[in-house]
Amino acid sequence: QVQLVESGGGLVQAGGSLRLSCAASGRSFSINSMDWYRQAPGKQRDLVASITGGTITNNGDSVKGRFTISRDNAKNTVYLQMNSLKPEDTAVYYCHTIVRGIEYWGQGTQVTVSS
């Protein structure tokens, strides 16, 4: 079992920044790849960024150059630094991983960007 707990969401004005955190516990030593997804109201859940070992993949032109994923293995924590936020970044952000073929999701953290 793996537990993922996100934090760091909130309300921010356009152009502002937030840093999301996702702390993993349980069989977290088995985690190699971790991802951030987001889901806006009425839309599907989309991949935002992934990190596997030390390799980072940012998915989507809409976040490139603005969002950065990183991890602290000692703390079993993955981060999503979000800069130059836009109203269209408003969504619930979820942490995700797959361990031994089993998917795990965090509870989500709301990010709201006002114009």
pLDDT digits (tens, 9 = 90+) for 26-74: 866 667 889 999 999 999 999 999 998 878 777 777 898 999 999 988 8
Q: What rounded mean pLDDT belongs to the chain?
A: 92
Residue 102: phi and psi, rounded to 5, are: -105, 130
* Beta strands in 8-90, from DSSP E residues, in sequence order: 10-13, 18-26, 33-39, 45-52, 55-58, 67-72, 77-82
φ/ψ bin of 42: left (φ > 0), alpha (ψ from -120 to 50), beta (otherwise) = left
Tell me which H or E stretch contains 49.
Answer: strand 45-52
DSSP 27: S
- Which pLDDT belongs to residue 28? 61
| 2, pLDDT greater than 70 | yes
The answer, yes or no, to whether residue 94 has pLDDT greater than 70, is: yes
Between strands 10-13 and 109-114, the pairing is parallel
* CA–CA separation, 8 and 82 (whole Å): 11
Q: Which residue has the tokens 């190699």?
A: 32
- Nearest in space to 48 (alpha carbons), one of 4, 78, 14, 11: 78
Is the pLDDT at 7 greater than 70, yes or no? yes
Distance from C-alpha of 76 to C-alpha of 61, rounded to nearest angstrom? 28
